[in-house]
Amino acid sequence: MKYTNIIEDIRTIRDFKKEEVPNNLIDEIIIDAQDSLLAGRRDDVSITFIKNGQKLFNTLSGKAGYFGKMIEAPHYILISSKKFEGYVENSAYIMENLRLKAWNIGLGTCWLSIEDEKELFTTLNIDKEFIPISLIAIGYQYKGFFKKDTSPRSSRLGVEDIIFDGQWGKQCTTEMLEARGIVNILYYSRLAPSWGNLQPWRFILDDNKIVLAIVDKDILQHLDAGIVMLYFEKSAHEEGILGKWRLDISNTDKYNIPEGYKALGYFEV
């Protein structure tokens, strides 16, 4: 599949048909997702498919959801993880990859926040070594008689607004980015969904590296970071730049990153 086409097309779905999704389709996207890691090992991550969505909806109403509202769907998928460097970002990276693949085969999804981990542990019998990180609703989109579409694409910052030249606050021009062959990569990266559409990440161009800095407040921003790293990486690969994010970044003082932000990793271009 061509990732950039799906990145432009995908939408968040909040109305689902009650119709169940065939097991073979669910298996297809989960198996694909298991082989897509940002960090850690495959055994460090657990993907749980919740077939009986109604039961989980009843259990988690008021304890998980989309802006505080639990979304009713025929199924849900949960990613849990052991703790390691970048485990939150890794979980989001895997889940967003799963969402893109689901959209490609005609399924809709919606990211849900987890507000009661204990309830998930009890309901889903999660291994105590693992922490519930990423949760989505999944199923066929319900359009109804009068529904024309799902929510429209939210507004996004422009390419020049999300990247700095060498250090924080120093603007990159489009011409500079075109000369480096990364305009398209940044264009698709800026479409990455984020909580509240706040886009809590910025890039810094440092010679042959693209450094990612995020708002370092809570787990939500680290989830958003995992998503934007996926969008950047897949877009770069389609431009012929076959790199991978590295989270072992050091010597970040030279970037003058402001308080409240954190350099998370880098990608060689």
Per-residue pLDDT tens for 23-80? 999 999 999 888 889 999 999 999 999 999 999 999 888 888 888 789 999 999 999 9
**One-letter identity of residue 55:** K
Give CATH 3.40.109.10 domain extents, the chain. Answer: 3-139, 159-268
Of the CA atoms within 13 Å of residue 50, those in its CB half-sphere come to 26
3-139 belongs to which CATH class?
alpha beta
Q: Which CATH superfamily is domain 159-268 in?
A: NADH Oxidase (3.40.109.10)
Question: Whole-model pTM?
Answer: 0.94
Residue (of 23, 114, 100) closest to 60 by Cα position: 114
Least confidently predicted of 1-10, 124-133, 256-265:
124-133
